Structure 1
């Protein structure tokens, strides 16, 4: 029997009407069963001014979150600069290169997706999604921004993640949603 792949998560961030919210489901699966249903994949950094979410291997994601927090402290809390420096290290460091995870990070002004290939992406339409159910959640969030603009950012994140959970077998309805504070 080969290595059992740990799959998990849908993480979604939405910027809408001056608000930024990020949320994730709580499911982690191993092979064809649910290993844990209430994993906390959202973390507040810098006193809540920056909120991150991760998808992929939990241990790898925690390593990246620690490194990202170190970069934030090194660069005076500048999220974009810290993300770029983390992505550079992630791509060039032999140890970090093996990590299997992705991050979404958000502050009051923007949302970024950070990957191990050295990418730091500013998503189109102020919607970012990563993980197994990301395309379902992103599609739902884009539709909500277009057709339900009266909703707040956190309401959009909640609704879109619930839609993803209805469709994606690797996403559940145990949601954690955080708003970025100024």
Structure 2
């Protein structure tokens, strides 16, 4: 996994080339070394872009031993691992953003939680703002991951990711 780190405006960004699934999981492991309670991380990309694979790598690096599946039908998969309350959301099936409120999902976004959200656009404007956005896009036979810190917590996360190499 090669990475190119650059700054844009005052918001740090990092870019990683992910040639295969193993590299995507390795980026998840690198993210695991940097996360802290109180973070909201958006996972953005087309179907099959590797969002759940990234989460799988993160959870495995934190010591999770069970299966990691996409919460497409359950909306949320909760994990308690490494003293973290981590919630993996998938809002793909939302047809109306108010479903976020109707499902009571806002209660999970707390200072002691780490929330990873797939398809965040489907929960807007009710979904809390991202501290960090991870955008996965196809490039050739692999992918590019672009990480963008958009809050103080997000910028601190980006600094920790940079030093987690």
TM-score range, shorter chain: 0.3 to 0.5
Using the size of structure 2 for normalisation, the TM-score is 0.35
Using the size of structure 1 for normalisation, the TM-score is 0.33
Which is greater in Rg?
1
